[in-house]
Amino acid sequence: MYAILNPIIHYKIACMQYKNEKSLQIIRTLGQIIKDFRVKNLNKSLNTFSYEYELTPGNVSRIENGQIEPKIVMLWRIAEALGIPLSDIIKHLEDELGEDFSLSDK
C-alpha cells in the first residue's frame, strides 16, 4: 500500500512546490514593480517614501524584496503613496508575467 501511495504523495508535493514557485514569482515581480515605481517615478529612498506616507519601512522593504505577500489594503496604500491606481500596478504585473502565466495547471 505504501508503494501505491508514495507516487501520489510525491505528485502532490511536486504540485504544491510548483504552485508555491509560481506564487513566489508573483510576489517577487510585484515587489520589483513597486520598487521601480518608487525609485523611477518618485526618486525617493525607501525611508523617505515610507516616512512621508506613514508606511513601515521594514514592511515596504520586505514587499519590494519579495519576502512577504502583501495584503490588498497595504497594496492600496502603497499605490496611493506612489500616486497611481492599484490597477496600474496589477496591469504592470500582468504585463511582466506574460499572458501565458497562470497559477492553475489548466
**Looking at the predicted structure, is the pLDDT value of residue 9 above 70?**
no
Q: CA 22 from chain center: how many Å?
A: 10
Residue of 38, 88, 40 lying closest to 63 (CA atoms): 38
Summarised one tens digit per residue, pLDDT across range 34-54 is: 999 999 999 999 999 999 999
Residue 29: pLDDT band (50, 70, 90) is very high
Q: How far apart are CA 106 and CA 101, in angstroms?
A: 11
Mean pLDDT of 7-18: 49
Residue of 82, 100, 106, 83 lying closest to 25 (CA atoms): 100
Residue of 25, 20, 28, 23 lying closest to 66 (CA atoms): 28
pTM across the whole model: 0.79
Q: Which residue has the higher pLDDT, 17 or 70?
A: 70
CATH number listed for the domain at residues 2-97: 1.10.260.40
**Looking at the predicted structure, is the pLDDT value of residue 16 above 90?**
no
How far, in Å, are 15, 30, 87, 96 from residue 93 at the CA level? 23, 6, 10, 5
Structure confidence at residue 14 (pLDDT): 47
Residue of 24, 51, 23 lying closest to 38 (CA atoms): 51
82: burial class by Cβ within 10 Å (0-12, 13-18, 19+)? buried
